[in-house]
Chain A
Amino acid sequence: MSLLEREAAGVAMTPDNIRTKQLPLVVNLGVALAAIVLSAVIVLGTGVGNWVLVAVVAVVFYLVGLYFAASRVEGRRAAKNRTMQSLIYTACILAILPLASVVWTLVSKGVERLDGTFFGSSMNNISARDPGGGAYHAIVGTLEQVGIAALIAVPLGVLGAIYLVEYGRGRFAGTVRFFVDVMTGIPSIVAGLFILSFWVLIVSPWFNDGNPRFSGFAASLALTVLMLPTIVRSTEEMLRLVPGPLREGSYALGVPQWKTILKVVLPTALPGIVTGVMLAIARAAGETAPVLLVAGGAAAINFDPFAGNQQSLALFVYQQAGDASRYAPARAWTAALTLVALVLVLTIAAKLLARRNKLSR
């Protein structure tokens, strides 16, 4: 008798029959049906809830029923496997549900104002009684603010991560890494207040005859503060995943370190870095508070990010959602839909671009 057979219950090292019984699909479906009926009878019969509670209770009944049915036919190990598998599927569905719900709500409510006027006009001279108006100024604002923020944050963040991974040794690198971690937790309103007190109140008067001034650029700076730590940390993780032997292989060819980083390390880590950058951009595009604080919001189109108030999509949603006009909520929904679509398109475009460089597999 082997050690395993002696110590582990139910293990046969040389079983007479290596086949096992399978739970028939009919039984599985029967358990599911019984769970639904039983749950409906209990929940609706006692009147404690509606169909949502029926579904939740049915899932619980199904899992329990499946475990007992399977342990009868297939044995405990297989029953556990089945139950866990179903549990994982349930968790997966639960995780997808809110997302699907958000998308559905956005599309169904946003489609009302999904028209040419919305994308072609601003809120200039639109009063509470006017049905028209649009988010053109907000789209322009979001694109400019996030674009400028990305132009500043991506090079700084990637270079910072390269420093931390490839060059950083000792106390200074440790300090930088610590403060990047701290920055990750900065609330966006704090970033907005920082830029308000520093850029808008102290620096911007120099460029505007001594008067402080809101601008889209100030919003970009606040968004940069929010994007930097995300980009640095995600890029750092991706660079660390590049195997050391690749770097050594390049050094052994007499390639200098900077060129090794540029031509071997960065291309290898590129898809991951792009994902991190897109996460940061998506977060920045959805920020409301800093834009409200330092760009102020506007009803008219302002193409110049360096002078005067500017709107952004997130801020537009916030303002329209709280507006007293009966046409405002529809605008808010469509703007929210536009924002999500914008981020989605940008993400897909970035992924395609990152893959184009890679060799076809």
Chain B
Amino acid sequence: MAKRIEASNVSSYYGSFKAIDSVSMAVEPKTITALIGPSGCGKSTFLRSINRMHEVLPNARIEGRLTIDDQNIYDPDVDVTAVRRMIGMVFQRPNPFPTMSIYENAVAGLKLNGVKKKAVLDEAAEKSLRSANLWDEVKDRLDRPGAGLSGGQQQRLCIARTIAVEPQVVLMDEPCSALDPISTLAIEDLMFKLKDRFTIIIVTHNMQQAARVSDKTGFFSIDKTGDPGRLIEYDDTQKIFSNPTQKKTEDYITGRFG
């Protein structure tokens, strides 16, 4: 199921502004990769480039090659929706659909892509909500609005929604930044569980989190405001946090950035 992602010389632009410059990295299947770095260094932009979400913004474009199991997702004849179905995404701020119930939110991806059988949807809802550690909390109120849950629950609902369509890759853009430590822990536990089935790439500002959950870590940085972000170092998490090759990486993870 899980797929290998390889980026070679990926540069992303917002209009004429170059947000990231020539990023190359390979992400192996069934691993967790963490992207760390200061604000504005292009981690999120890179993440959004992986499932072609970058181009949703006006005037945004990308150069370079991004392959998923050796298929370039930026070939002109690629079906964007197929790519996004294959590469799911969890956003920084929980964004459950406000007009849908918890149940409808969980199976939104299936329903909106044409699954109609109630039995199939019911099973998928329970399975994905269980995977997201949310089932026990919401099983008695599945018909209540998804927006009525707490922030942490909403975020887990969004994760359930994402994994319900069974993507091969799950991208997470600072999924825990608005959550309390208990919800954060629940989501980290969840990532370990999901690792058996998915390839996970997570952007985080929390270095402990990167160290705890990830197999590999990529460090992004910029020289100064207005410059494009670059991938400074990409290696095993163990190596990055104990013995980084680059001085910049060491400065950042030891808190001497700046």
Interface residues of A (CB under 8 A from B): 169, 243, 245-256, 259-260, 263-264, 267-268, 270, 357-359, 361
Contact = CB atoms under 8 A, between A and B. Distances in A.
A263 B113 CA distance: 11
A165 B81 CA distance: 21
A263 B95 contact: no
B45 to A, nearest CB: 14
Contacts, number: 80
A252 B162 contact: yes
A270 B88 CA distance: 28
B133 interface: no
A276 to B, nearest CB: 18
B226 interface: no
Which of B84, B88, B143, B161 has the most A CB atoms < 10 Å from its CB?
Answer: B84
Nearest to A358: B99
A252 B144 contact: no
B182 interface: no
B58 A254 contact: no
Contacts of A359: 99-101, 143-145
A358 B56 CA distance: 28
A253 B58 contact: no
Determine the interface band of chain B, counting residues with CB < 8 A from chain A: 20 to 34
A253 B97 contact: no
Contacts of B91: 245, 248-249, 252
Contacts of A264: 97, 99, 112
A13 to B, nearest CB: 34
Contact of A252 (B84, B98, B113, B148): B84
Nearest to B85: A254
A246 B112 contact: no
Given A253-B112, A254-B81, A260-B112, 12 more contacts: A169-B58, A245-B93, A249-B95, A250-B108, A250-B112, A251-B84, A252-B51, A253-B108, A254-B82, A255-B108, A264-B97, A359-B101
Contacts of A250: 97, 108, 112
B99 A253 contact: no
20 contacts: A245-B91, A246-B98, A248-B91, A249-B158, A252-B53, A252-B162, A253-B112, A254-B83, A255-B112, A260-B112, A263-B112, A264-B99, A264-B112, A268-B98, A268-B99, A357-B99, A358-B99, A359-B99, A359-B101, A359-B144
Interface in B163-183: 165, 167
Nearest to B102: A359
B98 A253 contact: no
Contacts of A361: 145, 148
A255 B145 contact: no
Nearest to A266: B99
A250 B112 CA distance: 9
B64 interface: no
A256 B91 CA distance: 18
B172 to A, nearest CB: 11
Which of B81, B88, B89, B143 has the most A CB atoms < 10 Å from its CB?
Answer: B81
B162 A253 contact: yes
A245 B81 contact: no
Contacts of A358: 99
A243 B85 contact: no
Contacts of B88: 252-253
A246 B81 contact: no
Interface string B62-105: 00000000000000000001111110110101011111110000
A248 B53 contact: yes
A259 B112 contact: yes
Interface string B131-146: 0000000000001110
B109 interface: yes
A302 to B, nearest CB: 42
A253 B165 contact: yes
A268 B97 CA distance: 8
A249 B97 contact: yes
Nearest to B110: A253
Given A245-B93, A245-B95, A268-B97, A253 B113 contact: yes
Contacts of A254: 81-86, 109, 113, 165, 167
A248 B56 CA distance: 8
Nearest to B91: A245
Contacts of B148: 361
Which of A248, A252, A267, A268 has the most B CB atoms < 10 Å from its CB?
Answer: A252
